[in-house]
């Protein structure tokens, strides 16, 4: 089937922790997100922003509450299916050791034209055209020959190819320059306009573009409103 085909997310009262010996890092968090909504998540370092996005992929233990995506409780979905159906762009993405082609399309489901189209969407086309081997360029382990911003754009191109209804974007903090940040925002506003996008944002400009801003503090929701009302 094609779940989730809308992209609504209902986070109901979740408390979550990394290990049974550790204190919860999220406490009674409830957030209701409409399909197609753009959410900006902010809060101080350590407030739980990344942890909240990890709950959606079941990468952290939910000890109370539940998350319902398009009407289905995600605890009932096999974890690999869940992770395949959503796209996450982490703070510091690690690329696979292999070609750019493999990184964009690990399951080899697309033709080159699709890959170039995705690269164009992510504003990476000219950059890749300038590389001698183009799609066959080898990306080194950990992606050290490519900047963090470019790695995030490659992940964005992959997410676009997969047509995920839900995109989670953990913006790189200091390592992404203004230009790349602006590019990421433009791509999300255009190529992902009908998708549900959660962006962990570090810049005011990013937050102003979202429909709703979620502010976390010490693992709790302290604000959830339009940027205009904050």
- Interaction site with ligand ATP (CB under 6 A): 18, 22, 25, 43, 45-51
C-beta of 16: minimal distance to Mg ion in Å? 14
* Cα separation, 216 vs 219, whole angstroms: 6
Window 54-113: residues binding Mg ion (CB under 5 A): none
From the list Mg ion, ligand ATP, none, which binds 199 (C-beta under 5 to 8 Å, kind-based)? Answer: none
Work out how close the CB of 48 gets to ligand ATP at its nearest, in angstroms, rounded to a whole number. 4
Which one of Mg ion, ligand ATP, none interacts with residue 18, CB within 5 to 8 A by kind? ligand ATP
Residue 50 sits in the site that holds Mg ion (CB under 5 A) = yes
Query: Smallest distance from the beta carbon of 43 to ligand ATP, in angstroms?
Result: 6
Which of the listed partners (Mg ion, ligand ATP, none) does 48 bind, with a CB threshold of 5 to 8 Å by partner kind?
ligand ATP
Between 101 and 202, whose beta carbon lies closer to ligand ATP? 202
> Cβ closer to ligand ATP: 18 or 224?
18
Nearest residue to 40 (alpha-carbon basis) of 174, 170, 192, 213? 213
Site membership for Mg ion, residue 199 (CB under 5 A) = no
Question: Residue 40 CB, nearest distance to ligand ATP (Å)?
Answer: 13
Q: Which is nearer to Mg ion, 50 or 196 (CB)?
A: 50
Rounded Cα distance, 208 and 121, in Å: 22
Residues facing 66 on adjacent strands:
12
Which stretches of the chain bind Mg ion, using CB under 5 A?
A: 50
């Amino acid at each position: 089937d094609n779940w989730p085909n809308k992209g609504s997310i209902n986070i109901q009262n979740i408390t979550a922790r990394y290990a049974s010996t550790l204190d919860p890092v999220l406490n009674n968090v409830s957030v209701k997100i409409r399909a197609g909504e753009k959410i900006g998540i902010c809060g101080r370092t350590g407030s739980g922003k990344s942890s909240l996005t990890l709950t959606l992929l079941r990468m952290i233990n939910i000890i109370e509450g539940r998350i319902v995506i398009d009407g289905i409780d995600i605890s009932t979905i096999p974890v690999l299916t869940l992770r395949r159906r959503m796209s996450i762009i982490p703070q510091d993405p690690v690329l696979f050791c292999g070609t750019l082609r493999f990184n964009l399309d690990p399951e080899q489901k697309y033709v080159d034209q699709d890959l170039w189209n995705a690269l164009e969407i992510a504003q990476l086309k000219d950059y890749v055209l300038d590389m001698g081997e183009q799609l066959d360029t080898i990306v080194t382990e950990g992606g050290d020959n490519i900047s963090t911003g470019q790695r995030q754009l490659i992940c964005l191109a992959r997410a676009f190819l997969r047509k995920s209804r839900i995109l989670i974007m953990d913006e790189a903090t200091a390592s992404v320059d203004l230009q790349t940040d602006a590019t990421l925002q433009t791509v999300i506003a255009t190529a992902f306009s009908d998708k549900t996008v959660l962006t962990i944002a570090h810049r005011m400009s990013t937050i102003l573009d979202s429909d709703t801003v979620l502010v976390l503090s010490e693992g709790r929701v302290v604000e959830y409103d339009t940027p205009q009302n904050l």
